[in-house]
Chains A and B, each alone.
Chain A
């Protein structure tokens, strides 16, 4: 029979009762982010030269880039935040942010419905023809919480 007074957990438990709770009250209290934390991929249309290096080397095929159509797209749902594209980019057009919305809602199942997590950008072609209808400003389907 083991010693019934041998209860090493008791001290620990008492200390816990008396100490401050460890829980962070997310979402009212957020954890401070460290510099360099990887997060959601963000794209800067103004600096991109559409070389397509990032799209060719992306291990998950999350990026689409077309030089002819001056088109760039990110599938946020596929991105694994490895950072290969950011390292490759000579123009610093890509970066990561931790502040972007982290949740994408289902946006409908019909063929025309925007795909969740799909973001695309079109740049005005250099010959002056009108830009492709859509949004030059940014994402189409990133629903924030």
Chain B
């Protein structure tokens, strides 16, 4: 991701008085040409009735700058991102150092962890479509 352009865009939202609505991460499972999977991170900003999303695709280990200097509430989302997904967020205003959730599984939502759980269930991805059709009978 282009960090400078991203931070400039976030800063514009901040200056225009938008508030941070949600930062959401989705894991993209490992696939051809993307062995470690990836993360789709979207930062959503709201102003009155409007909501806009900034989306970036980052690879595991890639540095994601924190926006907690402009949006104070971001630190909670960012700690969560790091703890549950293993996203490498840098420069958080309040770094909880992995003490937020303390899950039994390390980074349970990381692409590799999801892959491992799906494999244990014996499910390839995507799930075969005929299976769903058969259930309707």
Using a CB–CB cutoff of 8 Å, the interface residues on chain A facing chain B are 53, 56-57
B135 on the A face (CB < 8 A): yes
Give B136's nearest chain A residue, CB to CB.
Answer: A53
3 contacting pairs across A/B (C-beta < 8 A): A53-B135, A56-B135, A57-B135
Interface size class of B (residues with CB under 8 A): under 10
The prevalent SS among residues of B at the interface is helix
Residues of B within 8 A of A56 (CB): 135
Residues of B within 8 A of A53 (CB): 135
Tally the A-B contacts, defined by beta carbons under 8 Å: 3
Residues of B within 8 A of A57 (CB): 135
CB distance from B98 to the nearest CB of A (A): 31
Q: A91–B2 Cα gap in the complex (Å)?
A: 60
CB distance from B128 to the nearest CB of A (A): 15
Q: A56–B135 Cα gap in the complex (Å)?
A: 8
CB distance from A40 to the nearest CB of B (A): 27
CB distance from B36 to the nearest CB of A (A): 32
Give A51's nearest chain B residue, CB to CB.
Answer: B137
Map CB proximity to A onto B106-137 as digits: 1 under 8 Å, 0 otherwise. 00000000000000000000000000000100
Q: A134–B53 Cα gap in the complex (Å)?
A: 60
CB distance from B136 to the nearest CB of A (A): 10
Q: A79–B135 Cα gap in the complex (Å)?
A: 21
Q: A53–B136 Cα gap in the complex (Å)?
A: 9
Q: A57–B135 Cα gap in the complex (Å)?
A: 9
Give B135's nearest chain A residue, CB to CB.
Answer: A56
Give A56's nearest chain B residue, CB to CB.
Answer: B135
Give A53's nearest chain B residue, CB to CB.
Answer: B135
Residues of A within 8 A of B135 (CB): 53, 56-57
CB distance from B135 to the nearest CB of A (A): 6
Q: A53–B135 Cα gap in the complex (Å)?
A: 8
